[in-house]
Amino acid sequence: MLTITGQSISSEIAIGMIRFYRHKKNIVQDAVAADTDTELSRYQVAYHTAMEQLQLLHDKTLEQIGAEEAEIFEMHRMLLSDRQFHHAILHSIIQDHKTAEYAIYSVGEELWNRFIHMEDPYIQARGADIQDIMNRLLFLLSGKKESSMDATEPFILMAEDLSPSETVQLNSSKLLGFITRQGSPYSHTAILAKTMNIPALLHIDINADWDGHLAIIDGEKQCAYIDPPEDMIAQYRNRKASMESKRRELQALKTLPAVTTDGRSMALYANANAPADVLSAIEQGAEGIGLFRSEFLYLNTQEYPDEEVQYHIYRQVLEQMPGKHVVIRTLDLGADKKSPYLALEPEENPALGYRAIRICLSRPELFKIQLRALLRASAHGKLHIMFPLITSLWEVRKAKEMVAACMEELAAEHTAYGNPVLGIMIETPAAVMVAEELAREADFFSIGTNDLAQYTLALDRNNARLHDFYDPHHPALLRMIRMVAEAAHKENIPVSICGEAGADPALTKSFLEMGIDALSVAPNSILPLKKTIRELSLTD
């Protein structure tokens, strides 16, 4: 038996034969076009065919998997039709006289490089979407058929990597799991695999000789066993059956309230990175959206998204959650999340630099575009607007003044808008220390424990070497959370937690005792967290 270790995307188990998947590669050679008009025509045909294929993939995914996963291919269509991306390819063909293949490859590689060099792993993973789109166009230009994996028996797929398109087109009734050399737990491929309950092991030094061998994937231990003995196979089959039983138990909690055995209730909201995550939140029984990160709008394009684009996205999110409150955080760019059109200068310490509310208040012409879009969308639901990285009272007052000014503009234009609730993120020690004053200006608090821990413990949470020093249970951090809760309740405003600590079952009782009103967590953490709460008693 051989044991191999990697990075898992879930705690699922798979048992089956390995099949090795070989990609057909696109090799781009000729750079200079013999006939520019011909190359332009070839690209246009490939572009329109790709848009049609992506629509078919969207429809297939919607029918067979779900609306959240179908949004992946709608996002691919948006990326492919992005004006800057599209025009860059056209410029390369028309002005630089490049072949369609070379233009697509060079523009796609440049955009891919921009994504993968960002520190945020979620944004990094969007690079795989760029490659998927680029490969689709190149295959269409080559006239070759894409690789396929047809199987009559259940199998574990092994490959260098898998794109979202390839994952969706696999026979899910036969696919037990996959093992890849590359990939990211934040990629859309990983999201699809989680939804389909397909265990996956990434970053494995794969070997084509394993083709046809029996394997077990253990997602919890983040390893796989090649040619395991019979007694181990029997043990894992029993474990898999037990896990499926527990999953059914969690689903039974979906419509039940998150309330302790002695009657203390806790609202459970979902964090979302994009509209697709909102659908996942609904499926998991979320009571609302406690944090919608708006920066995906700014990072998936090469130009600042205009008011109409933003308005339609925000409205879509609110209409997906009718009657439930939705907290949308204003743009939190800077640090590791940068867009070329902002022209942000390099900084020695970007985590402490020009970012989030600091960009917004110093560039009001950009901030007002987002605020106007949010105000217009607020007419269609229960919108809460949240300002990030607040450290001082004047920042809150200035942001509120800008909201009021945008309201006046919209009223003068006879444009409909709502009256959203205005709150702030507490994610700096400075905000903690002036929480009472801030509570008199804000309508709600949301504690971002990820950054609060980083700034309180004086460490970079993205630095792997500091993993052992990062302690979300640190007494200083817990005391700060308690101080914020007390300050909020003194002024009769609600306080929630939207950082990773909110999903930590070891802290749930402490948060309940502190009087935290709500926890906002990843959609797949809602039901396990609800189970924890329903089994707790604060009087024990």
In terms of C-beta density within 10 A (0-12 exposed, 13-18 middle, 19 or more buried), how is residue 381 classed? Answer: buried
Q: What are phi and psi of 32, to 5 degrees?
A: -90, 130
H/E segment holding residue 399: helix 393-412
Structure tokens at 99: 């072949």
H/E segment holding residue 391: none
Beta strands at 7-8 and 200-202: parallel, antiparallel or unpaired: antiparallel
Query: For residues 535 and 148, what is the distance between their CA atoms, to the nearest angstrom?
Result: 47
Structure tokens at 2: 């051989």
Query: For residues 51 and 4, what is the distance between their CA atoms, to the nearest angstrom?
Result: 39
For residue 327, the SS3 value is: strand
Q: Which residues are catalytic?
A: 188, 498
Structure tokens at 533: 């709460």
Q: Report the candidate in 465, 461, 453, 400 with the shortest Cα–Cα distance to residue 429.
A: 453
The full length of the chain comes to 540
CA within 13 Å, CB half, 89: 28
Assess contact for 291 and 278: CB atoms under 8 A: no
Beta strands at 289-293 and 325-329: parallel, antiparallel or unpaired: parallel
Query: For residues 420 and 407, what is the distance between their CA atoms, to the nearest angstrom?
Result: 11
Query: For residues 258 and 282, what is the distance between their CA atoms, to the nearest angstrom?
Result: 15
H/E segment holding residue 241: helix 230-251
- Kindly report the three-state secondary structure assignment for every residue of 57-79: HHHHHHHHCCHHHHHHHHHHHHH
Residue type for position 383: L
